[in-house]
Amino acid sequence: MIRLRTATIGDVPEMAAILQTWLDQTPWMPDLHRLEGTKRFVARLLETTEAEVACGSEVDGFLCLEGAEIPALYVAESARSRGVGSALIVEAQARRTRLCLWTFQANSRARRFYARHGFLEVEATDGAGNEEKLPDVRLEWSRT
């Protein structure tokens, strides 16, 4: 069973490890981030967003909401394809009437995931506006 709860500052190390592992294991992602910086980034997210974690004995994934924007949704490698991401996004959809986010065009797995959850791709860029300088795509969902 997937249990969701509000993230706390004590979750930062596990949340940062999930994100950093994804960054390190994604071959097309530029090598811009180290764990200490990722921990600071996640701690700032907790200060500025509504953050939820999915957990069993440890944190399996997390989602952050800032109004309608989802600035972060990451699932631990060991928890992928087990419904963790879906549980987090369904909870966010229950709390909002509209959601939006950016993902990288190269992230085909994420794009398929969001499409399954009703998100539509509404804008694509060449990446000039993001830190990684990678082409990205904006997705939106609304309750109809």
List CB contacts of 53: < 8 A, sequence separation 6 or more: 4, 5, 6, 7, 11, 15, 59, 60, 61, 62
DSSP assignment of 62-81 equals EEEEETTEEEEEEE-GGGTT
Q: How far apart are CA 141 and CA 144, in angstroms?
A: 9
CB-based contacts of 91: which residues, under 8 Å, 6+ apart?
A: 4, 52, 63
User: How much is the pTM?
Assistant: 0.95
pLDDT single digits (tens) 83-123: 999 999 999 999 999 999 999 999 999 999 999 999 999 99
Q: What is the pLDDT of residue 33?
A: 82
- According to the model, what pLDDT value does residue 125 have? 97
126 token code pair: 């060449």
The strand order across the sheet containing 50-55 reads: 3-6, 50-55, 59-66, 69-75, 98-104, 136-142, 120-125
pLDDT confidence of 134, banded at 50, 70, 90?
A: very high
| CB neighbourhood size of 6 (10 A) | 10
Other C-beta atoms closer than 10 Å to the C-beta of 121 total: 14
pLDDT in tens, 20-61: 999 999 999 998 889 999 999 999 999 999 999 999 879 999
What is the residue range of 75's domain?
3-142
32-35 contact pairs (CB < 8 A, 24+): 32/131, 32/132
Assign residue 123 the CATH number of its domain: 3.40.630.30
Give dist(CA 119, CA 113) in Å, integer: 9
Tally of domains in the chain:
1
